[in-house]
Each structure stands twice: as C-alpha cells, then as structure tokens.
Amino acid sequence: MVSVNDFVEKLSLKVISSSTQEHINIKSAELNRPGIQFTGYYEYFAYERPQVIGKVEMAYLDSLDDAERRRRLEEFFSYPIPCVVICRGMQPPKEMLDLARERDIPIYGTDWVTTRFFVNAISYLSIALAPHSTMHGVLLDVYGLGVLLTGESGVGKSEAALELVKRGHQLVADDVVDIKKVNENTLIGESPEAIRHFMEIRGIGIIDIRRMYGIGAVLSDKAIDLVIHLELWKESKTYDRLGLTDSYTDIMGVSVPEIVLPVRPGRNLAVVIEVAARNQGLKRLGYSAAGELDRRLKDMAKRQ
C-alpha cells in the first residue's frame, strides 16, 4: 500500500480525478501500458499495476467513436486497477473520467514523457514498497560511506556521532533507524519522520542538528555500507589487531561488513570511526593494508 499524498508528491503528479481511498493498493514496483488491452486483448492483463497512458494509447482512444470508446473503457475499468497515470500533460476523454468516478479509481496526470515517468515511478516504488525493518543505532555519512553505529544504550553512540557531525560529516538518524531492502545487496537507512534531525545527548537532552549545524549536517537517507558495533572494553576478550579476516553481520538477509570497536576512557571514537570508514573505502577499491603488510612479511621471509 502506498499513501496517495506521498505518491502524488514524490512523482509530481496532478490529480485529475480523485478517489475516496487514502492509500493505493500497489504491490510491486512495476507499471503497465494498456495499449493492447484497449484493442480488446485481455488474456494477459497486469491490472494490479498502475496503468500508464502515453501518446500511443491516447491517440488510439481518440481514433474511436464515442460509443466504441466507452465500450472499450468499460471493459478496461471492470478490473480492480489501482490508478491511472496520463503522461505528456494530456487530458482524458469524458468516458474515462465518468467510469473512473463510478469505480472510485483515481486518475493522475504528469507533464513528463512516458519513458521518464516510468524511470522515476519504478525508482520511487522500489523504495516505497521495499521490505523494511527498524534497528536501534545511529546512521551517518562518513566520507561518503553509510556507517551504522550499534551497541547497548549508553555506550556512547550519540556522543561519537555528535563529534563526527562537528568534524563535517552528516547525520541521517539517531536512536531509531528505519531500514529498507531495495534490492538483494542494498540497504537504505533513514530516520522516522517524527524524530528526523533530532539527537539525544544524556545530560543535555534533545538537540536539533539541522538548526544547530546547518542543512549540510544532515541527510534524509543513506545506503548502509559498514556497521561499527560499540561495546565496553572487556579485558578478558581478545580483539582483532590485524584485520586480516573480514567480519560481516546479517541485516534482512544482506551481509554488511562489521567492525567490533571496544570503548574505554581516552579513546577518540570519532577519529577511529573516520579511520574505519576510510579503510573500508580502500577495501572496496581492492586495497587491504593488512593484506599488503602480510604480503611484505612473507616476501621478506622468502628472501631470508
């Protein structure tokens, strides 16, 4: 289900004929052009998709006489269509408006050409209809990478995020991160609208990052490229000191690189997180500092 207001706003649509429904029953990020249906072929009709009418479909309807056009449209509107979108700023024939009102099916218009609307609509629906989940954490853009800070409450996630914002990085979400799986390998995180741009700092309370540091200090959403799990330093635990082995965590079926970062007094978490983000960026380009050091040591051993 997609909100009518969100659908109209995000795709810059004009409401030609409204509906009594507040949500549109769209189940997949696919569209249908009903040109072949207007000719009478209904053996295969993807009626569950938004129906997009372009120049070809409208020219065919205009070529029919009034009685035949109404008969074709009556058959078309007998299916539970979620909505109709008319491109190129064209206006629907009177028969289409009458039948849409009878069936309570909304009709929208756009000035975009059909191809451009297809691209924008599929992109929007892929995100709007993506499976989603909620996580406790802080999401930031650090050197272009989406870094998700996780850990127990009070470990210092928000304080580290605040220091990163002061150093020029961007906040996406604090405390609650809404995550959408837009494809098999990509997770997009954003903040719930009610708490967007706000951050909680213990001892101070709620602060507004956008008003305090400017619009450049916040982002609306970001792909998650790295998870950094903060935990209080445990003397009995052995932490990775070389980084030869990559670790991953599973989020909604997607494997995301993960680093466990121990926290103790005196550590500058913001600097360490920056280094982790830069290092991950190099790994994505195919370079591993730990792997390079391992190679040099092996070469030296061979020569000796």
Q: Is 299 part of the annotated catalytic residue set?
A: no
Q: What is the pLDDT of residues 229-270, one digit of tens each?
A: 999 888 777 777 777 788 999 999 999 999 999 888 878 899
Q: Cα 217 vs. chain centroid, distance in angstroms?
A: 19
Does the pLDDT of residue 182 top 90, yes or no?
no
What pLDDT, on the 0 to 100 scale, is given for residue 1? 79
User: Do 108 and 14 form a contact (C-beta atoms < 8 A)?
Assistant: yes
Decide if 2-128 and 132-292 have a common fold. no
Do 178 and 190 meet the contact criterion of CB atoms below 8 Å apart? yes
Q: What percent of the chain has pLDDT over 90?
A: 72
Q: What is the DSSP letter of 195?
A: G
Q: How confident is the model at residue 173 (pLDDT cuts 50, 70, 90)?
A: very high
pLDDT in tens, 45-84: 999 999 999 999 999 999 999 999 999 999 999 999 999 9
Per CATH, is 132-292 categorized as 3.40.50.300?
Answer: yes
Active site residue 157: yes
Query: Rounded to whole angstroms, how far apart are CA atoms 3 and 22?
Result: 6
What pTM did the predictor assign? 0.74
Residue 64, pLDDT score: 93
Give me the pLDDT at residue 153, please: 86
Pairing relationship of beta strands 107-109 and 84-86 according to DSSP bridges: parallel
Q: Is 136 annotated as catalytic?
A: yes
Mean pLDDT across 171-197: 92
Separation of alpha carbons 229 and 236, rounded Å: 18
Catalytic position from the list 98, 175, 178, 221: 175
Which pLDDT belongs to residue 245? 81
Give the N- to C-terminal CA distance of the chain in Å, as an integer.
68
Per the residue annotation, which of 14, 27, 94, 136 is the catalytic one? 136
Fold (CATH) for 2-128? 3.40.1390
Q: Which of 33, 69, 72, 157 is catalytic?
A: 157
Is 241 among the residues known to form the active site?
yes
Q: Are 83 and 2 in contact (CB under 8 A)?
A: no
Domain range summary for the chain, segments of one domain joined by +: 2-128, 132-292
Pairing state between β 2-3 and 23-24: antiparallel
